[in-house]
Amino acid sequence: MIPVLTIDGPSGVGKGTVANIVAARLKWNLLDSGAIYRAFALAASKRNIQIDNIEKLVELASNLELNFAPDSANNTLAVYLDSQEVSSDLRTEETAELASKFAMIGAIRESLLIRQQDFRKLPGLVADGRDMGTVVFKDAPYKVFLTANVEERAKRRLKQLRQRGITGNILQTLEDVKKRDERDARRKHSPLMPSKDALIIDTSDLTVSEVVTKVMVLVKV
């Protein structure tokens, strides 16, 4: 059995940062499932496929030419779509918003499922997203759900956007984060929620390294 640590939670909570550090410490593989949804959204928008064209969207999801490669400069994974690097295009709020809309459609989620499960390789996997613990890796032995109040998450998201050279203001970011959370939590298919067996960590008043310590204590391998 290949061990999996799932890290789920709402936008801006710091899942990606924590997942990156923990995966590096454990020397496990890393799945940023949000990047898959974002890349899918980017591909659909480039091809001008509308949200109601389910047949074309499912076909795209099944054939998406998507690859991840280690980006040692940023200590993360670079994302390639149709052989082109799209890592920075994926991080914009527009792409996130579009990804959240496409992610509501059950048929798309299903078509992207195996692609995510294929990341489960030895010696282990750290998977971050919204439904890692509830759906994609339901049998994972280690599950974490990160939360933080919405103001704190908007602040973290804005800081991250600015570090990537993307402009934004706090009120707009707060609105974006709230809207996306609501959509992700209310959708019918695989809504954002903690798995019953997940350790819930409120990170509002914790530093990244305090969160990492709590997660590492859970895994103890």
Binding site for ligand DC (CB under 6 A): 11, 33-34, 37-38, 96, 99-100, 103, 129-131, 180, 184
Q: CB of 124: closest distance to ligand DC in angstroms?
A: 18
Residues 6 or more apart whose CB falls under 8 angstroms from that of 93 comprise 161, 166, 168, 173, 176
Q: CB of 220: closest distance to ligand DC in angstroms?
A: 25
Strand 199-202 with 29-32, pairing: unpaired
Q: Which is nearer to ligand DC, 181 or 212 (CB)?
A: 181
CB atoms within 10 A of CB 54: 14
Q: CB of 35: closest distance to ligand DC in angstroms?
A: 6
Q: Which is nearer to ligand DC, 197 or 217 (CB)?
A: 197
Q: CB of 16: closest distance to ligand DC in angstroms?
A: 7
Q: Which is nearer to ligand DC, 26 or 35 (CB)?
A: 35
Q: Are 16 and 75 in contact (CB under 8 A)?
A: no
- For residue 3, the Cα-to-chain-centroid distance in whole angstroms is 19
Q: Which is nearer to ligand DC, 27 or 163 (CB)?
A: 163
Q: Which residue is nearest to ligand DC (CB)?
A: 34
Alpha helices in 127-204 (DSSP H): 150-163, 170-186
